[in-house]
Every structure is written in structure tokens, then in C-alpha cells.
């Protein structure tokens, strides 16, 4: 596929770009201040910032390009606007709070556990340069657990991306933990998203679960 990758030089983009190319995709990387002609691309992938993702995605959707968004921190209004534009243009827009398969499983297990153990809290821990808090994964996990789950955010050097879901009941706790130790963890999920993108309906789809 011909892919435009927004956030080429970022922590994720720098790992992802070469891996997409190795998988046979033709990748055009875009960084801040570059505005290439968005024509002839099969898909746009965005790993930028909460401030940049909306503009990039609106431009890509406006050009009729299906989008895969990894950037977190989009507001509900922002997502609703993307849904409307994607439907109008008849293309899919996939937003995935976490591309790591282990994190997707963690969310599933947490939702299952919350049905039997309703008292729970989430601790999410990320590198100190992460711009949004709470993380997109923590918000998505809380939503799948019924919504009313307190989230604690930790930002420290030395961390990559980690989350614990702690469920408590009299005399016991259950902890479900996922650790991302390298950004390689996100590559298979993005490749899967690109492979399945054309099978998605036009408009917004949230989460990798829809593809598994
Ligand atoms: P990062 O290291 O800050 O990288 C972001 C990159 O985007 C930077 O190189 C930045 O350039 C560039 N950028 C900013 N505005 C841009 C624009 N308008 N057009 C093109 N590029 C632009 O962040 P990261 O750790 O790679 O993470 C990127 C995003 O992905 C974050 O929102 C993070 O939460 C999210 N994320 C999601 C997943 C997932 O599985 N869904 C996994 C990891 C991270 P400058 O540095 O020059 O500003």
C-alpha cells in the first residue's frame, strides 16, 4: 500500500516507518511543517500529538484517504467530527488507543473481571514526555469496565507504557497488568489495521478489537 505516515520522526514513527517499509508498503513520512500533496495514498497513519492529529486526519479524509490513528488525546467532539467527515467521504477512520495485542487482551480481561468484581481502579504509567493524561488506553479500559473507574496517571523517565487494573473485594485483590517494553509492540497491530482497513465501514471505528 502507499502510506502517508504523520509523525515520521517521533518515538513510535521512527520504529514504525522502517517496519512498514520492510513489510512491503511504500511509506512517505511527514513531520511538523511539511504539507505534502495528499493524493494517490491508500492509507494515512498518524502518530503525532493531540494538537496535530485532528488537522492531519481531516486533511487526509478530505482527500478521500482511509485513516489509521494511533495518536491519543482526541476529544469526543474531535472524534464525532472525524466520524462525520469520514462518512461524508465514504472512507473508514480507525482510531486505536493501543495497538499492542497484550493491551487489547488486558482490556478484555478487565471488562470480564469487572462483571464479578465491581470495585476497581486503574494505574497507568508512561514516559515523562507523554502529552495526554489519563492515557487513551486507560480511558478505553474504564469505559469497557462500565465507566466509573478512577484512573491514576504516573509520568516518569524510564517508563514506556504500562497499566495495572486492580480489582478489590473483601479479603482479595486481582491485578491485571500489561507492560510495553519496546515500541515494536505496536507494529503488528498497525500492520493488521492496514490489512483490514478496506473491510471496515465508512465512518469511525474505535479499537483493534473490531479487527481481531
Ligand atoms: P512523539 O515522540 O512526541 O512523536 C510525535 C511526532 O509527531 C514528533 O516527531 C512530532 O514532531 C511529530 N508531529 C507533531 N506535529 C506534527 C504534524 N502536524 N505533522 C506531522 N508530524 C507531527 O510521540 P510518540 O511517543 O511517538 O507518540 C505519538 C502519539 O501516539 C501520542 O499521542 C501517543 O500517546 C500515541 N501512542 C499511541 C499508541 C497506540 O498504540 N495507539 C502507542 C504509542 C503511542 P516534533 O517533535 O517536532 O513536534
* Ordered per-residue pLDDT tens for the chain, 212 residues: 999 999 999 999 999 999 999 999 999 999 998 988 998 999 999 999 999 999 999 999 999 999 999 999 999 999 999 999 999 999 999 999 999 999 999 999 999 999 999 999 999 999 999 999 999 999 999 999 998 999 999 999 999 999 999 999 999 999 999 999 999 999 999 999 999 999 999 999 999 988 98
Residue with cell string 469496565:
145
So what's the pLDDT on residue 212? 85
Q: Which are the contacts of 44, defined by CB distance < 8 A and separation ≥ 6? A: 3, 4, 5, 6, 38, 56, 57, 60, 65, 66, 67, 68
So what's the pLDDT on residue 35? 86
Alpha carbon nearest to ligand 1 atom 48, residue: 32
92 C-alpha to ligand 1 centroid (Å):
21
Architecture of domain 2-95+185-211 in CATH? 3-Layer(aba) Sandwich (3.40)
Ligand 1 site-directed mutation target among 47, 137, 155, 179, most atoms within 8 Å of CB: 47
Ligand 1 site-directed mutation target among 14, 15, 46, 48, most atoms within 8 Å of CB: 48
CB under 6 Å to ligand 1: residues? 6-7, 9-13, 30-32, 47-49, 52, 56, 70-73, 96-99, 130, 186
14 C-alpha to ligand 1 centroid (Å):
10
Alpha carbon nearest to ligand 1 atom 16, residue: 32
Nearest to 190 by CA among 101, 116, 91: 101
Class of domain 101-181: alpha beta
Residue with cell string 504516573:
154
So what's the pLDDT on residue 210? 84
Longest dimension (CA), the chain: 61
Ligand 1 site-directed mutation target among 49, 60, 68, 94, most atoms within 8 Å of CB: 49
Atom of ligand 1 nearest to the CA of 70: 41
Distance CA 155, CA 65 (A): 34
- Catalytic residue numbers read 126, 130
Q: Which are the contacts of 47, defined by CB distance < 8 A and separation ≥ 6? A: 5, 6, 7, 10, 12, 13, 16, 70, 71
Verdict on whether the full-model pTM lies above 0.95:
no
Residues in a beta bridge with 124: 153, 163
Atom of ligand 1 nearest to the CA of 189: 40
CA distances, 69 to each of 47, 92, 123, 156, 188 (Å): 7, 11, 24, 25, 15
CATH 3.40.50.720 location in the chain = 2-95+185-211
CATH 3.30.360.10 location in the chain = 101-181
What sign has the CA pseudo-torsion 124, 188, 104, 42? Answer: positive
Amino acid at each position: 500500500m502507499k502510506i502517508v505516515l504523520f509523525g515520521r520522526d517521533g518515538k513510535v514513527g521512527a520504529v514504525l516507518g522502517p517496519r512498514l517499509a520492510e513489510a512491503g508498503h511504500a511509506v512517505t513520512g511527514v513531520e511538523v511543517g511539511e504539507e505534502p500533496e495528499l493524493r494517490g495514498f491508500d492509507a494515512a497513519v498518524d502518530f503525532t500529538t493531540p494538537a496535530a492529529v485532528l488537522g492531519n486526519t481531516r486533511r487526509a479524509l478530505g482527500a478521500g484517504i482511509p485513516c489509521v490513528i494511533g495518536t491519543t488525546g482526541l476529544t469526543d467532539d474531535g472524534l464525532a467530527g472525524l466520524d462525520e467527515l469520514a462518512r461524508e467521504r465514504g472512507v473508514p477512520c480507525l482510531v486505536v488507543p493501543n495497538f499492542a495485542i497484550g493491551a487489547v487482551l488486558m482490556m478484555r480481561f478487565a471488562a470480564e473481571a469487572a462483571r464479578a468484581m465491581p470495585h476497581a481502579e486503574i494505574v497507568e504509567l508512561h514516559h515523562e514526555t507523554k502529552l495526554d493524561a489519563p492515557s487513551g488506553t486507560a480511558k478505553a479500559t474504564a469505559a469497557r469496565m462500565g465507566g466509573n473507574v478512577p484512573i491514576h496517571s504516573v509520568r516518569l523517565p524510564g517508563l514506556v507504557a504500562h497499566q495495572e487494573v486492580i480489582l478489590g473485594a473483601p479479603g482479595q485483590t486481582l491485578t491485571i497488568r500489561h507492560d510495553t517494553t519496546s515500541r515494536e509492540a505496536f507494529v503488528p497491530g498497525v500492520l493488521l489495521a492496514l490489512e483490514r482497513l478496506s473491510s471496515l465501514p465508512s465512518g469511525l471505528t474505535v479499537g483493534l478489537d473490531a479487527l481481531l
